[in-house]
């Protein structure tokens, strides 16, 4: 049984919170989403991701996937169908309601099953593993600066302050087709899995995240400490975190 903490905060510079989160301990499924778009469209897009995952689970029981001959492949296909449905939903709303044109959302989802973490992401919301005082990033950002780092054009520190650091290259609702990434890794007792929007990792670096998550504080207090640290560094964006302890 996992322990869970979570927190979302508007930050110090934004008037509205366009992030959303989903915590479903019954399924060991957790989601963080960061909406983009004018007016209230970003908020709507991230909420549609949450509603979309809940609805998909209700219509397509995940137990059948768990019992598949190859559950890893079955889970990949399952969540791809889920994300495609959300993508279609957001695009339909964007098409039919002019004020919502161009809305989209990042999403990072984690599912824990039989000692393994299965993660799905699109955009620049992240999943981290904190184990024995160390930290590793599970997901890869879909962003302009992430591509530049991968190509050797920028260092990680240069990417953090680059003018294009907030430009994402993939999102739910952005394109007709959707291309999330899938990751799977073993989890051990005591591991902490962190999901977060760029309002956290854009304000504090990975080592500061590791330090805060490794303090041994309760999970809700840990999430508060993370949000407080991001706000202390400027709080330029909405901040959302979900922390799960195995």
- Model confidence at 173, pLDDT cuts 50, 70, 90, reads very high
**Pick from 138, 112, 50, 114: which is nearest to 245 by CA?**
112
Tokens of 74: 């079955």
| Identity of the highest mean pLDDT range in 26-35, 39-48, 60-69 | 26-35
pLDDT at 1: 66
pLDDT at 127: 98
- Per-residue pLDDT, averaged over 60-65, amounts to 92
pLDDT at 39: 63
pLDDT at 26: 94
- Model confidence at 169, pLDDT cuts 50, 70, 90, reads very high
Q: What is the pLDDT of residues 179-198, one digit of tens each?
A: 999 999 999 999 999 999 99
Percentage of residues of the chain with pLDDT beyond 90: 80
Map out the domains of the chain as residue ranges.
3-245
Res 162 pLDDT > 90: no
Residue appearing with tokens 């840990």: 222
Q: Which CATH class name applies to 3-245?
A: alpha beta
Res 134 pLDDT > 70: yes
DSSP run (H or E) holding 120 = strand 116-122
Which three-class secondary structure state does DSSP give residue 5? strand
| Identity of the highest mean pLDDT range in 148-162, 164-178, 195-209 | 195-209
Res 38 pLDDT > 80: no
How far apart (Å, rounded) are the C-alpha atoms in residues 114 and 16? 38
Residue appearing with tokens 């007709």: 176
- Per-residue pLDDT, averaged over 111-129, amounts to 97
pLDDT at 145: 84
Average per-residue pLDDT for the chain: 94
Percentage of residues of the chain with pLDDT beyond 70: 99
């Amino acid at each position: 049984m996992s322990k869970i903490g979570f927190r979302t905060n508007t930050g110090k510079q934004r008037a509205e919170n366009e992030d959303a989160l989903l915590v479903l301990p019954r399924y060991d499924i957790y989601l963080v989403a960061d909406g983009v778009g004018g007016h209230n469209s970003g908020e709507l897009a991230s909420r549609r991701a949450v509603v979309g995952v809940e609805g998909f689970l209700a219509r397509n029981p995940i137990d059948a996937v768990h019992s598949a001959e190859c559950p890893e492949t079955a889970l990949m296909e399952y969540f791809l169908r889920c994300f495609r449905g959300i993508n279609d939903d957001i695009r339909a709303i964007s098409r039919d309601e002019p004020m919502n044109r161009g809305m989209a959302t990042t999403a990072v989802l984690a599912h824990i099953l039989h000692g393994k973490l299965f993660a799905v992401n699109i955009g620049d919301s992240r999943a981290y593993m904190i184990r024995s005082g160390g930290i590793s990033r599970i997901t890869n950002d879909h962003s302009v600066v992430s591509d530049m780092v991968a190509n050797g054009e920028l260092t990680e520190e240069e990417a953090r302050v680059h003018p294009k650091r907030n430009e994402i290259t993939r999102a739910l609702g952005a394109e007709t087709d959707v291309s999330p990434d899938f990751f799977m890794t073993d989890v051990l007792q005591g591991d902490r899995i962190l999901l977060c929007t760029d309002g956290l990792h854009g304000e504090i670096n990975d080592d500061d995240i590791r330090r805060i998550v490794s303090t041994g504080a309760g999970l809700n207090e840990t999430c508060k400490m993370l949000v407080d640290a991001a706000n202390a560094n400027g709080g330029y964006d909405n901040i959302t975190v979900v922390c799960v302890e195995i």
